[in-house]
Amino acid sequence: MHGHTDNYTFLTQGPIHRVILTMAVPTIISMLVTSLYNIADTFFVGQIDTQSTAAVGIVFSLMFFVQATGFFFGHGSGNYISRELGARRHDNAVKMASTGFFTSFLFGLLILVVGEIYLTPLSVLLGSTPTILPYTEQYMRIILFGAPFLTSSLTLNNQMRLQGNAAYAMYGIVAGAILNVVLDPILIFSCGMGVGGAALATVTGQVVSFLILFYMTHKGENIAVSFRNFSPSWRAYKEIFYGGSPSLMRQGLACVATMSLNVAAGAYGDSAIAAMSIVGRIAMLVFAAVIGLGQGFQPVCGFCYGAGLYDRLKEAYKFTVIVGTGFLVVCAVVGWLVSGSLIGIFRNDTEVIDIGMVALRWQLCTFPLNAFILASNMLAQTCRKPWRANLLAAARQGLFFIPLIFILPSCFGLKGVEMCQALSDVCSFVLTVPIVAYTFREFNRESRMRVS
């Protein structure tokens, strides 16, 4: 696996930079590949017409909700598994793995059924204009079939990662994404299926990912998932809720924020929706790397917190923030210089490029603040500080973004839509500083108590 002793020893004793990067690299690859999934669809569908491009952008907020469900169960069960393994309580971890997985699959089935029944009202609710509606329905009808496979794949992926087996988690995600990218042009253009072909390619990739990940749970040091260990109980679901609610909060609010953004941008025409959706994709691709780095920090954080190694935990946190911030500064500078041509790659339309370029440059200004915001959120979430983790998770795309997206355009018009995320980032940063200071004071108290 890492060419070292078992995960426990590696995570609690190995050199910090090596441990975090060993855990982060496969996760960064998984995250980038998952973003490429979405970008591939946007790219190939962008060759059809503006309506289809917008339809994919609209269904994306539903995909966000499905992903949020998977992350909720994955992080909820995974953070618990990581702390229990750190405290050497293996049986609890085994039961939690199967409970998280099967519940996640059932929720995915529920989304599939409800979504198919309320297809049209759901499309309109997500921000479909009458011109985009038929494309949205065609795309969503097929995409929904992937829901149970996507939720449970994400759950397995996060469980493996938080056990310190990120490389296994990567194989399943990467294989599915590559298959999607290969099938996209075949189904869209060669088979003439249009936007429906893009959806079918995505679902096929998700099913393949699911099968590989399920097979991987029986390999290496992974905890095998089996129905006989499925033990639903209030206590288990309470732990999942504590560990997973920040992810649900973050993703769920991102979904509401995307819907609000589509509505706000829609006032300025289909080009504005397409432009903001492209800027969102570019930002997500960059953040994928930082989130991956933060997720490399999480198993270290969980194991060290479970084992009471507070100084090591602090060192790991500091390393994560410094590396992440440095990376984002570089991205901001490079992105600023090539912002026009970046937007043009996705949709070569002068109106889309003009709107997108301004919005992207606003966001680049506050990019470097986000490594600190993200790492702090993951710290609170993994160390089971639910209210802090939820508050921080809600801040960037909810607490600040949602009111601002309604206030700013009424004052500044389209410029208000373009600058909204940057202002939201600044507010989140200011909120995060005192919360982190308080958390570290608390760690100092806990470590003194352990010593005495």
Contacts of 443 (CB under 8 A, 6+ apart): 310, 313, 314
Place of tokens 């309604």: 406
Q: How many CB atoms lie within 10 A of CB 338?
A: 12
Contacts of 9 (CB under 8 A, 6+ apart): none
Instruction: Tell me whether residue 87 is exposed, middle or buried, using C-beta atoms within 10 angstroms of its C-beta: 0 to 12, 13 to 18, 19 or more.
Output: middle
Position 2 confidence tier, pLDDT thresholds 50, 70, 90: very low
Show the tokens assigned to 438.
Answer: 């308080």
**What is the biggest distance separating any 2 CA atoms in the chain, rounded to whole angstroms?**
71
CA–CA gap between residue 402 and residue 137 (Å, rounded): 26
Q: What are phi and psi of 224, to 5 degrees?
A: -75, 135
Place of tokens 């997108």: 356
- 20 three-state secondary structure: helix
Mean pLDDT of 270-288: 80
195-199, 247-251, 387-391: range with highest mean pLDDT? 387-391
- pLDDT, tens digit, 9 for 90 and up, residues 204-223: 999 999 999 999 888 777 78
11 or 205, greater pLDDT = 205
- pLDDT, tens digit, 9 for 90 and up, residues 87-134: 778 788 888 888 999 999 999 999 999 999 988 887 777 777 777 788
434 or 337, greater pLDDT = 434
Task: Give a three-class secondary structure readout of 66-97.
Answer: HHHHHHHHHHHHHHHHHHHHHCCCHHHHHHHH
- The DSSP secondary structure of 240-275, one letter per residue, reads HHHHHHHHHHHHHHHHHHHHHHHHHHHTT-HHHHHH
Q: Is the pLDDT of residue 68 over 70?
A: yes
Angle between helices 339-346 and 16-46 (to 10 degrees): 60
Question: What pLDDT was estimated at residue 322?
Answer: 95
- Give the single-character DSSP code of 28: H
CA–CA gap between residue 22 and residue 313 (Å, rounded): 16
Show the tokens assigned to 7.
Answer: 């995960």
Q: Is the pLDDT of residue 345 over 80?
A: no
Question: What pLDDT was estimated at residue 176?
Answer: 87
Q: What are phi and psi of 274, to 5 degrees?
A: -60, -45
Show the tokens assigned to 323.
Answer: 């590396």
Whether the CA torsion 321, 296, 446, 310 is positive or negative: it is negative
Question: What pLDDT was estimated at residue 5?
Answer: 54
Q: What are phi and psi of 12, to 5 degrees?
A: -100, -10
- The DSSP secondary structure of 396-431, one letter per residue, reads IIIITHHHHHHHHHHHHTHHHHHHHHHHHHHHHHHH
- pLDDT, tens digit, 9 for 90 and up, residues 359-394: 888 888 898 999 999 999 889 888 888 888 888 888
Q: How many CB atoms lie within 10 A of CB 78?
A: 33
- pLDDT, tens digit, 9 for 90 and up, residues 384-434: 888 888 888 888 878 898 898 888 888 888 788 888 888 999 999 999 999
Q: What average pLDDT is seen over the chain?
A: 84
Contacts of 18 (CB under 8 A, 6+ apart): none
CA–CA gap between residue 306 and residue 383 (Å, rounded): 8
Q: Is the pLDDT of residue 3 over 70?
A: no
CA–CA gap between residue 204 and residue 219 (Å, rounded): 24
Question: What pLDDT was estimated at residue 426?
Answer: 93
